[in-house]
């Protein structure tokens, strides 16, 4: 999939989620304490240079989801300000 195709898919998902979701729930979303602890551990292992290939893949997935969450929240802010 090209970068352009990925952008289009993200835009479609963002429109779907921000068009039908409860804006307050999206805006206030935080990781559970277990997931946040796991992320913190992976980030520490990354700083220490101790990530395994599996850890690296897991951290990459956290980063992709964090990016999606930020994009959702930005889209919600734009919709609110329109």
Token duo for residue 22: 């409860």
Q: Total structural domains in the chain?
A: 1
- Across 2-31, average pLDDT: 73
Q: Is the dihedral angle over the CA atoms 32, 37, 42, 48 positive or is it negative?
A: positive
- Across 4-13, average pLDDT: 71
- Start-to-end C-alpha separation, the chain: 32
Query: What is the extent of the structural domain holding 43?
Result: 3-81
Q: What is the pLDDT of residues 28-76, one digit of tens each?
A: 888 899 999 999 999 999 999 999 999 999 999 999 989 888 888 888 8
Nearest to 75 by CA among 27, 8, 3, 9: 27
pLDDT at 3: 53
Q: What is the pLDDT of residues 50-61, one digit of tens each?
A: 999 999 999 999
Q: For residues 56 and 69, is the Cβ–Cβ distance under 8 A?
A: no
């Amino acid at each position: 999939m090209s970068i352009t195709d990925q952008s289009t898919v993200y835009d479609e998902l963002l429109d779907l989620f921000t068009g039908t979701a409860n804006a307050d729930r999206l805006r206030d979303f935080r990781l559970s304490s277990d997931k946040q602890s796991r992320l913190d551990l992976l980030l520490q292992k990354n700083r220490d240079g101790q990530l395994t290939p599996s850890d690296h893949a897991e951290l990459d997935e956290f980063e992709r989801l964090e990016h999606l969450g930020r994009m959702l929240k930005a889209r919600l802010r734009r919709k609110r300000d329109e």
